[in-house]
Amino acid sequence: MESEHKSAPFWIWFNLVVVWLCWGTTYLAIREGVSGETGLPPLLFAGVRVTLAGLILVIFFLLLKGKIWLDWAQLWPIWLSGAFLFVGGNGLCTIAEMTVESGLASVLIATTPLWLAVFDVMMPGGTKMSLGKWFGIVAGFCGVCLILLGPTLLETATTQTLWQWEEGNLIALGSAFFWAIGSIIQRRWAPKIDAVQIAGWQMLTGGASLTVLGLFFGEIALITPEKLNPTTIGSFFYLLFVGSLLGFVAFVWLLQHTTPAIAGTYGYVNPVVAVWVGWALGGENPSWFLIPGMALILLAVFLVRIPTRSRSLSPTTISQAGEASPATMHK
């Protein structure tokens, strides 16, 4: 018993590092899979991968528990939240990274808890926020403005225009917006069943919806032999097994063996890892405004996530965090 207690901190740190590295590196993997002329089409790249991850989790739960089927009352909120999380959240994140650097995308998507807090206040019976949380929201969106407007402020002397936001940046913010809506749906209407079962069905239904959307927009015709190269294929399987499965397993272990506050540290560490990995391995050149902007956003997330009462991480947090949450994410 004594040795078990002594080994517990090691395994906590081990699984924390696994989660931080697995989920912090997914942003660069997404960018490598879809950017440039040799990148795969984004909706199918994300949809097929998420569908496979969900299928693996559902089969795992079947082998573990012997039961996977849900009735319609249980399935519809899972499908609806999965659509917002994976079609809106993951799909838009993947589209954004066709043009946006992975580090910048990770920081913008880290605003998900801020959107979530705002929506929660607006919903009937929503949580009342303290002055400190409102300060956090204002600080967070100031950080976003600093990141997006800072570089253009330096160019106004020659361009004579301030609003030169890249479309991809707004799409990345849209990803965070949809993650938050999916999280609200999940929090309010999720069935009281096993978190792994919820995550599996969310990925399966949300990924299938994203795949159907990719087929509808004719992305299958965009997949050529040149795009099935070692970089795109490697990114696909890295995201499937490392991002969606290995990181997920480590995160579930943390939820079972430590506090939600410790397990949730990925929300602060992932953007830092993503920015560093994008710079060190992806050849990205983040602007000088990204670091102070990221600091403001992470401070804001910390202030917003200070609990007003004792609560645990919801299954939604598990589902979204594994894909570039925020969130994945995802997060």
**pLDDT above 70 covers what percent of the chain?**
85
Query: In this structure, which amino acid lies at residue 70?
Result: L
Element of type H or E holding 263: helix 260-263
Mean pLDDT of the chain: 83
The pLDDT tens digits for 199-257 are 889 999 999 999 999 999 999 999 999 999 999 999 999 999 999 889 888 888 887 78
More confident call, 34 vs 304 = 34
Q: Determine the 3-state secondary structure of 41 from DSSP.
A: coil
Tokens of 90: 């993951």
3-state helix, strand, coil in the chain (%, to 5): 75, 0, 25
CA–CA separation, 48 and 330 (whole Å): 18
- Cβ proximity of 142 and 294 under 8 Å: no
- 95 in Cβ contact with 165 (< 8 Å): no
Phi, psi of 75 (to 5 degrees): -80, -35
DSSP string for 3-22: HHHHHHHHHHHHHHHHHHHH
Helix (H) or strand (E) holding 120: helix 112-122
By percentage, how much of the chain surpasses pLDDT 90? 44
Q: What is the mean pLDDT of residues 99-124?
A: 88
Tens-place pLDDT, residues 150-198: 766 655 544 444 444 578 889 999 999 999 898 888 888 878 888 788 8
Highest mean pLDDT among 5-14, 222-231, 289-298, 313-322 belongs to 222-231
The phi and psi torsions of 325 (rounded to 5 degrees) equal -75, 145
Candidates 87, 34, 23; CA nearest to 329 is 23
Q: Could you tell me if 326 and 269 are in contact, meaning their C-beta atoms sit under 8 angstroms apart?
A: no
Q: Domain limits of the chain?
A: 22-321
Contact between residue 87 and residue 209 where contact means Cβ atoms under 8 Å apart: yes
Residue identified by tokens 């917006």 is: 177
Among 56-60, 64-68, 317-321, which range has the highest average pLDDT? 56-60
